[in-house]
Amino acid sequence: MLMLCARCQAVLRANVTASKRGEARSLYHHITRSIYHTGTSTLSGQLSGQALAQRGHAAGTTGRTRRINNIRAMGGVVEGVPTVSVYEAREMMGAGARYLDVRTTEEYSAGHAPGALNVPVFNAEGGRMKPNPDFVSKVEQDFPEKDQQLVLGCKVGKRSAMALQMLAEQGYTNLSNIGGGFDVWSEEGLPVEL
């Protein structure tokens, strides 16, 4: 559920009439996307007070932001390493960054960002997720230069945040986590390969 400031709530209420429900729904989605994509901090994906103030919003979070905040609460975000939106990740890839997809092989096979390399941080075994003991060595094999710009993504951001922490501990210096992960990537209609 999205919490909106009084101004946005008033705009939505004014547009919710029998004939304008579609417009209100469209406005609601516009507001949530705007807040999510442009009002996130570069550290944890939390809505920044300054970004909200610039847009005239007193308070608000999206479900995706709450999921990212839960990652932070679980210790999955590394200080000083940015969490980026899917749009920022796509721009970074266009400038030479590599997308490291840390989802399971099965998830990756069902769809992934173009050019993404899959190295699972966890493997699905017997209906449970088990840590991949070869994760770091496989990444070091595929990306021996530890200053290579890597954008890490998983389903929603939790596993990629953990993977990012593991790689940072091994000396990788140019890492970014995709806030919301592949779920947001595909929801936003960005390119997907099978």
Q: Where are the domains of the chain?
A: 1-74, 78-194
Q: With residue 153 as reference, give the H or E element that holds it.
A: strand 150-153
The answer to whether the Cα torsion of 67, 73, 147, 103 is positive or negative is negative
* Per-residue model confidence (pLDDT) at position 157: 87
Enter the DSSP assignment of 101.
E
* Per-residue model confidence (pLDDT) at position 118: 98
Q: Which residues pair with 124 in a beta bridge?
A: 129
Distance (Å, whole) CA 163 – CA 168: 9
The verdict on pTM exceeding 0.75 is no
Distance (Å, whole) CA 7 – CA 56: 8
Give the residue numbers marked as catalytic.
Answer: 154
Asked if CATH classification 3.40.250.10 holds for the domain at 78-194, the reply, yes or no, is yes
153: nearest Cα among 94, 80, 104: 104
Neighbouring residues of 119: CB distance < 8 A, sequence distance ≥ 6: 100, 101, 102, 132, 135, 138, 139, 142
Distance (Å, whole) CA 4 – CA 58: 8
Distance (Å, whole) CA 107 – CA 182: 10
Per-residue pLDDT tens, the chain, 194 aa: give them: 345 555 555 555 555 544 455 555 555 444 444 444 444 333 233 333 333 333 333 334 444 444 444 444 443 444 555 789 999 999 999 999 999 999 999 999 999 999 999 999 999 998 899 999 999 999 999 999 999 999 999 999 889 999 999 999 999 999 999 989 999 999 999 999 99
Enter the DSSP assignment of 139.
H
